[in-house]
Structure 1
Amino acid sequence: MNEATVLTEWARLLMRSLADAGISDVVLSPGSRSTPYLIAALRESRFRCHDAIDERAAAFFALGQARWTSRPSLVLCTSGTAAAHYYPAIVEASLARVPLVVVTADRPFELQDCAASQTIDQTKMYGHYVRLFLETGMPDSAPEALHALQRMAAQSVFAAHWPDPGPVHLNVRARKPLEPQAPRTESERELARALRSMRPAPAVSVPRVRPEAAAIGAAVQQCREARAGLLVCGPLPIDASGARAALLDLAEATQFPLLAEVTSQLRLMNADAARAPALCDAFDRVLASKPFREAHAPDLIVQIGGTPTSGAWERYSSAHRRTPRIVLAEHGWTDASNAASTMLFGAIAETAAAMADGLRGTPPAASGAWTKDFVDASREAWIAVDAEIREEVLGPLTERGAVRTVLERLRPGSVLMLANSLPIRHVESLARTGMADVAVACQRGANGIDGQMAGALGTAMASNRPTTLLVGDIGFLHDLNSLMLAMRATVPVVLVVLNNGGGRIFERLPIATEAHVHGVTPEELAHVTTPHALEFGQAARMFGLAYRCVESARDLDDALSKAYAHPACTVIECRTPRPRKDGS
């Protein structure tokens, strides 16, 4: 039987089986060795195919899609270093527990380890960051091999979901000729008919993990007895808005202060905000006060979701390491403080609802004065923040002034993606509950700055909702290739770039704040803060994107209004104060 025809049918069966297993979005990057699989993907009617020249951007784009849909997207590339470009997104998907299926085309076995062009060892190349690695072997027409291929497709999608969501790597090989071949002989036509009549890939259901009733009961008893308890909610998935009601019920049942980060999906909301009886949404600023920290020692901490971003919380938490701590985790061991006394694994909405139900009917022991102190301190903190920002928005544009303006102009029901480094920290310090009603996306798995525009664009196109990304200038430069993906946006996508002329977050490090102590010169410090004088208008125009440079809050407000009325991508460059020429 013609080997090229077997390859064509093999690739078609793989893509059909991946569609059977639930894949609907495929992100393709160009290359030769992946040709049969790429053509098969394009011809699978259930797939939506997206092109991305840069594999790194492709993988982050797929990650952004999966972050919204909670279903794995598929990324497909050719052999060699193309597959290596997926690595940063695979690390992020693994640590953020976002499902992803990675298909890398590979050369035949006879070309391994003999200096063949574009050939590297792709076996388990992503190490422990993938939940499963499968090698399909060479295309084969034997029934056993075909059924195994179907099983591997279903197994890949299942492993991306359970027991621990994340990336899966499927390595597929191909020998030339790579172009699609129609069946020519009767045996080849028989193979094609047999494949078309094969039953779909195995159907699988994803189990749900729930904490044991006894563990819930013990946690409820601890909450019932605590007089100075705290609920602390760190990053939660973008689809965790469904957990809002359960988490607010838990706050109401315990009467504990609720310290909710922006990325918890509990801050930038409107309809449910009034239901939070003890919301302390300025807790980063509140806990930055040494007198407040020293006067308020908790007797129980309930941490929900991922590790909080707040530096003030980290210091406060470390000071109370011996305090009993219950951690509610959907997946993974989310206890960066190494202080948990109880880990409750399972769907957070269900765990919180079960705890709230267990507390109903019994008056909580929580001290009203304890809770009132947190609420009052948060209210006073916002008064101070408002006074500071009022001054900033009247003069030349500052980073905080730009962020506050963006927060006040977000469209209800839209998506806000927060880049790492300074943008997420600024939002944390400025976003008061009820200021907007949006879903908040972030890449807090590995907390890197790569792929942030690609991730935002993937989420925008998957959600079909207006999407705003707050990103720094270094993050923007790091992901310039993703502007090609931005050309395809059909909803308002607003890339707000805080251009302060370099990596200004590094100015907060001791090497900068105490440069004179460490003997670091301005010239040496520049290698850390990476100052630059670049402007981004030409980059936007190169890709045909709308662009606006603003230097005042009023101009930014006008630019945002126009961008949200434009069903495509707009780059808004916010020019804020730059470092001096000496690098300081």
Structure 2
Amino acid sequence: MKQLSSKRSIQILAHVLKQYNINHIVLSPGSRNAPLAVHFSEDNFHCYSIVDERSAAFVAMGMAKSLKTPVAVSCTSGSATANYYPAVVEAFYQNIPLLLLTADRPESYVDIFDGQTIRQNQIFHQHSYGDFQLKEDQETDAEEYNLDIVKKAVELCIEKQGPVHINIPLSEPLYNFVSEVALLPEIEKTLTVGKYELPSQLVATWNTHQRVMILLGTMDASPELSILLEQLVKNHSAVIFTEANSNQFHPKFFNHIDRYIFDFEEEDFIKYAPDLLITVGQNVVSKKIKQFLRKARPKHHWHVDPYWHPDTFSALTEAITSTHENFFTELIKKGRIEPQSYYNLWDVKRDKADAKHLEYCENVRFSDFMVYQSLAEQTPEAYRIHFSNSSAIRYAQLFNFSEKHHVYCNRGTSGIDGCTSTAMGFAIAEDQPTLLITGDLSFFYDINGLWNKYIPPYTRIIILNNGEGNIFRIIPGPSDANALEDYIATSHKMNAAHLAKHFQLDYFVVETPDELLRSLANFFKPSTQPKILEVNTKNEDNALVLKEYFKYLKS
């Protein structure tokens, strides 16, 4: 016999979620949210138990990233709710649909020093697309009100593709069960799909400007978008810059931004500046391209995205609310697609830099740089690759990871806190194998991302352990500080061997180029449990190798 919660608010919640095909629920332990856990686990939802709420929210976010549909995450009251916040801000800036279901004490319990009770209603309001609170069953018109509120919350989560919070006050008793639920009405869905038409004045602007640059930020892979963009570069109509996590690759795209602009000086900002800049998608990793475009000050800047229109380069002239595919379909249909010399200007610079890159790679010594080069060449094509912040995703920009792989990274807020949990959540929901490539600090920070029983056996983790946050030896500034070792780079002597054993993952460690090359083929072979490969580069001057690389490009 089923044990369903007797709480009508929970029955309504479950009913509405099913109506919108939201059936993945990440649960953390607790008593106040027990009615949710009991009901969801007995009512044919896909439930996952993740103890650490901070990790649980990132796991749910990773699942939603793979499924491209909302995933719900539920916890008990108090600080458990607050632990969701890092994932909430990441989901907010990445537009990942996360439905936050937080159990709460009755509203009258707030601020009277009752256990696990905080000001929980609207706790995420600065970084959520909606904040709602259900009525308790005994309140007036609770059923009608809660049906309406849950429907609004779910539709907002779907339309905005971002986090939405439903706070759920629950009085005791919490453990009363029923075997059947009284009939609830079908939900009349009111989701809308917008249609975009390119205004004639934008067509005129496109047709009258010869120096057009298209910059792709963070986005999911889209074969349709690839086909459209190829039409713009096959006859040199525009210069298209991409990053690894733009998930768009073509030989005529400029796929390695920093390789081409790292040494720009004042005259280059003028020489290579676009007149029309079209940015697509979200956060851009390259700091160099941000510096270049802020100084170049294009006459026109259009940003194309269904949700966000930031003035990243202090030049925004047109916020275009459209899917990327719809916009470029309209542009190609209505605009003139003609060759421009601006493409050739950039192409000459690219050819020289690419040749220098290949020369340097032929003789590079064992280092983080060499490891990323090897991984770009030898990671099997089926793998979805997650990069941690912050040096990992920067190294990825230098190589062709996105040519054969889908690439992901938490660049919404660019923190290291949930990189492992996000990748594991993605792996749990994904039908293709997942590889996490991570630095040591990111990995050790988020070890609870491995604390679950759902990680598929074909999941792989590669840790580049250079014994510190090496990014702080790469970026300008920190290397001059006396506090670098202990408080900024945070040097350490840890390794992942005991953690792998603890979480029952196969573990390998390599310390030389030959060991790395021999290990990779075996590492990707099928196994009965996930694997960790730790690459020890602690004794190498990784920052120097990278600086020598850019110096060689300039020579």
- Same-fold call, TM > 0.5? yes
* 2:545 maps to 1:573: no
C-alpha distance in structure 2 between counterparts of 1:432 and 1:496, whole Å: 15
C-alpha contact 2:77 2:103 (8 A) present in aligned 1: yes
Counterpart for residue 188 of structure 1: none
Counterpart for residue 197 of structure 1: 183
Counterpart for residue 186 of structure 1: none
Q: Secondary structure at the match of 1:290?
A: coil
Q: Secondary structure at the match of 1:148?
A: helix
C-alpha contact 2:272 2:346 (8 A) present in aligned 1: no
Of 11-20 and 285-294, more deviation after overlay is shown by 285-294
C-alpha contact 2:294 2:314 (8 A) present in aligned 1: no
Q: Secondary structure at the match of 2:18?
A: helix
C-alpha distance in structure 2 between counterparts of 1:573 and 1:32, whole Å: 39
C-alpha distance in structure 2 between counterparts of 1:5 and 1:68, whole Å: 29
Q: Secondary structure at the match of 1:50?
A: strand
* 2:137 maps to 1:168: no
C-alpha distance in structure 1 between counterparts of 2:202 and 2:239, whole Å: 17
Shift of 1:82: 0.5
Counterpart for residue 403 of structure 1: 372
Match of 1:248 among 223, 230, 236: 230
Match of 2:350 among 374, 378, 395: 378
C-alpha contact 2:30 2:76 (8 A) present in aligned 1: yes
Please give the TM-score of this superposition, normalised by the length of structure 2. 0.91
* 2:145 maps to 1:148: yes
Instruction: Describe the shift of the 1:26–1:226 C-alpha distance in structure 2 as closer, same or farther (beyond 3 A).
Output: same
C-alpha contact 2:306 2:321 (8 A) present in aligned 1: yes
Counterpart for residue 554 of structure 1: 514
Q: Deviations for 1:437-488, whole angstroms, at most 9, x for unmatched residues? A: 1111111111111111111111112122111111111100110111113x42
C-alpha contact 2:197 2:330 (8 A) present in aligned 1: no
Q: Secondary structure at the match of 1:118?
A: coil
**Residue pairs, 1:476-495, within 5 angstroms:** 476-485=443-452, 487-495=453-461
Counterpart for residue 503 of structure 1: 469
* 2:316 maps to 1:333: no
Q: RMSD of the TM alignment (CA)? A: 2.4
Match of 1:225 among 186, 203, 208: 208
C-alpha contact 1:279 1:375 (8 A) present in aligned 2: no
Of 293-302 and 542-551, more deviation after overlay is shown by 293-302
**Residue type matched to 1:25 in 2?**
H
**Residue pairs, 1:287-302, within 5 angstroms:** 287-290=261-264, 293=269, 295-302=271-278
C-alpha distance in structure 2 between counterparts of 1:266 and 1:419, whole Å: 20
C-alpha distance in structure 2 between counterparts of 1:38 and 1:501, whole Å: 41
Counterpart for residue 157 of structure 1: 154
**Residue pairs, 1:357-376, within 5 angstroms:** 357-359=333-335, 362=336, 364=338, 366-367=340-341, 370-376=342-348
Shift of 1:58: 0.6
**Residue pairs, 1:44-443, within 5 angstroms:** 44-45=43-44, 47-140=45-138, 144-162=141-159, 164-182=160-178, 195-205=181-191, 207-214=192-199, 217-236=200-219, 238-252=220-234, 255-267=237-249, 273=250, 278-290=252-264, 293=269, 295-359=271-335, 362=336, 364=338, 366-367=340-341, 370-392=342-364, 395=365, 397-431=366-400, 434=403, 437-443=404-410
Shift of 1:340: 1.4
For structure 1, the 5+ residue unaligned runs are 184-191, 268-272
C-alpha distance in structure 2 between counterparts of 1:111 and 1:363, whole Å: 65
C-alpha contact 2:273 2:298 (8 A) present in aligned 1: no
C-alpha distance in structure 1 between counterparts of 2:300 and 2:363, whole Å: 42
Shift of 1:298: 2.3
C-alpha distance in structure 1 between counterparts of 2:310 and 2:382, whole Å: 29
Instruction: Describe the shift of the 1:222–1:209 C-alpha distance in structure 2 as closer, same or farther (beyond 3 A).
Output: same
C-alpha distance in structure 1 between counterparts of 2:253 and 2:35, whole Å: 55
Shift of 1:491: 4.6
C-alpha distance in structure 2 between counterparts of 1:82 and 1:509, whole Å: 35
Q: Deviations for 1:264-294, whole angstroms, at most 9, x for unmatched residues? A: 1113xxxxx36xxx32223321112336555
C-alpha contact 2:244 2:396 (8 A) present in aligned 1: yes
Counterpart for residue 545 of structure 2: none
**Residue type matched to 2:293 in 1?**
S
C-alpha distance in structure 1 between counterparts of 2:487 and 2:58, whole Å: 27
Please give the TM-score of this superposition, normalised by the length of structure 1. 0.86
Q: Secondary structure at the match of 1:465?
A: coil
Shift of 1:223: 2.4
C-alpha distance in structure 1 between counterparts of 2:519 and 2:29, whole Å: 36
C-alpha distance in structure 2 between counterparts of 1:120 and 1:224, whole Å: 57
C-alpha distance in structure 2 between counterparts of 1:558 and 1:28, whole Å: 40
Q: Deviations for 1:405-434, whole angstroms, at most 9, x for unmatched residues? A: 111122223211121210111010122764
Shift of 1:40: 0.4
Instruction: Describe the shift of the 1:441–1:324 C-alpha distance in structure 2 as closer, same or farther (beyond 3 A).
Output: same
Q: Secondary structure at the match of 2:398?
A: helix
**Residue type matched to 1:235 in 2?**
T
C-alpha contact 1:65 1:73 (8 A) present in aligned 2: yes
C-alpha contact 1:412 1:438 (8 A) present in aligned 2: yes
Instruction: Describe the shift of the 1:541–1:5 C-alpha distance in structure 2 as closer, same or farther (beyond 3 A).
Output: closer
C-alpha contact 2:236 2:343 (8 A) present in aligned 1: no
Instruction: Describe the shift of the 1:116–1:510 C-alpha distance in structure 2 as closer, same or farther (beyond 3 A).
Output: same
C-alpha distance in structure 2 between counterparts of 1:226 and 1:312, whole Å: 24
Of 291-300 and 148-157, more deviation after overlay is shown by 291-300
**Residue type matched to 2:66 in 1?**
W
Instruction: Describe the shift of the 1:338–1:446 C-alpha distance in structure 2 as closer, same or farther (beyond 3 A).
Output: same
C-alpha contact 1:285 1:312 (8 A) present in aligned 2: no
C-alpha contact 1:65 1:458 (8 A) present in aligned 2: yes
Q: Deviations for 1:59-100, whole angstroms, at most 9, x for unmatched residues? A: 001111111222110000001111111000001111111111
C-alpha distance in structure 2 between counterparts of 1:48 and 1:424, whole Å: 32
Of 62-71 and 538-547, more deviation after overlay is shown by 62-71
C-alpha distance in structure 2 between counterparts of 1:480 and 1:200, whole Å: 43
Q: Secondary structure at the match of 2:451?
A: helix
